[in-house]
Structure 1
């Protein structure tokens, strides 16, 4: 496939976070303001409506790849174009192929990822020293794609904060795998439509969550729309842990103090 030649007009891939325009970076807002056409996945055309006034707004996932490239070529003749990228490019983004083809005509602007927004909403550090020593991002949809890939149960080890995107497992099965990995009942949060209309967060333990949710289909497993539901799963001990000031003082004595001297 032939890449676009370098020209003045650009395509901006703007990290749009979970969909709240208040989380757009200043750089992203400036780039968006200068674009005459914007590709906005649903429901971003609604949540960003005020910033999209007077612009041509399109949904990117209604096109095949070559159709999208052909349309971009025409739109670029008139000026800059933007894509509002859910979260940002870092994880589970479908826009990499477009960026590779566009080459120097593409500019990526970092955004507030859903994991960052969830951490802020829950008011929890995801790798809390002495509680969780690592945070792991995974999706059951992609686990097992390659021989020897770890299972969800193998990732859900004690001391791990696990963030699960695009879950496609029924909640009882998901909980069973997590309990097998953690070896105990740890806290779990279902963060549904974060920063969007219909926002809801269910916080419980692995022993409680199935009964608490009941028949509610947070993951869109029974609906006619095959797209993943906008529900992030966060599990791990850090969700219920509290800490005192000893860690702060340790860092004060071993790290920060020496930088001041």
Structure 2
């Protein structure tokens, strides 16, 4: 991609899951230098905007179309500005960034991406669990159920559930009954542990721990309808037996340590 003659640029930044301290150091430094910010106001913590220079134009994209967002980018680039496009979590997950990239490519506008902490990892931190336990699961599936945005049939939740791996389900808590039905259809036992973490890392974070038998009523009673991660799998069960990591096993030899015989 050739450099735009005005030296303006667009930088996509993952804002993290909510806690303003969970933006990366690189992301925060870049936000401090921004001449214009376009942020996902429905999800990004507005506290992050306090990092901007006084008087920096900050545009809430929640009310804008792609064309309007692109217009703001083009306007800023023509002025030689450093433009930050601030997305929630990590922009590569359900961030609708490819269509923005394509517009910028067509206009020969340079851009870069600074990754962020996804809500899926903030949710794991909230429940204090590890997705990849030896002998339990070495795979984490990130997915969602179909809504107004369809899901390919080959990726239907019931089909993914057949793997019995650890799962994190985005953008689906509003239809918790369908989620549970699909998980059961895929083969998870009704006793499978499941967690719902709403607004992970925010001050009003809410966490529910149950099973596929109980979680629908728990979510209904809590009134959780959005901004929630659904975590499911045996990795959530603290009583479930798992194998000790080879990395720290005293009998295991690797590049940095010679194992013992006992």
Deviations 1:104-146 (A, max 9, x none): 5111001111112212222211121111231111111279644
Of the three residues 211, 233, 236, the one matched with 1:236 is: 233
TM (norm. structure 1) is: 0.83
1:190-201, aligned counterparts within 5 Å? 190-201=196-207
Query: RMSD over aligned Cα, in angstroms?
Result: 2.8
Deviation per CA, 1:137-158, whole angstroms, max 9, x where unpaired?
A: 1111279644x42421221236
Structure 1 residues 69 and 131: CA distance shift in structure 2, 3 A: same
Q: How many residues align?
A: 249
Post-superposition shift, 1:252?
3.4
2:134–2:243 Cα contact (<8 Å) kept = no
The aligned runs of 1:1-261 (5 Å cut-off) are 5=4, 7-42=6-41, 43-44=43-44, 46-52=46-52, 54=54, 55-76=56-77, 77-103=79-105, 105-141=110-146, 145-146=151-152, 148-157=153-162, 159-167=164-172, 170-181=175-186, 182-219=188-225, 229-241=226-238, 247-248=244-245, 252=249, 256-260=253-257
Deviations, residues 50-101 of structure 1 (Å, cap 9, x unaligned): 2135221111232222232222122221521101111112211112211233
Which runs of 5 or more structure 2 residues have no equivalent in the other structure? none
C-alpha contact (below 8 Å) 2:38/2:69 kept by paired residues:
no
Please, what TM-score do these two structures have when normalized by structure 2? 0.82
Structure 1 residue 196, shift from structure 2 partner: 2.5
TM-superposed CA distance for 1:187, in Å, is 0.9
| Residues 211-239 of structure 1 deviation map (CA, whole Å, 9 limit, x = unaligned) | 333444423xxxxxxxxx21111111101
Deviates more, 1:153-162 or 1:114-123: 153-162
Structure 1 residues 253 and 6, CA, compared in 2 at 3 Å: closer, same or farther? Answer: farther
Question: The residue matched to 1:247 in structure 2 has which SS?
Answer: coil
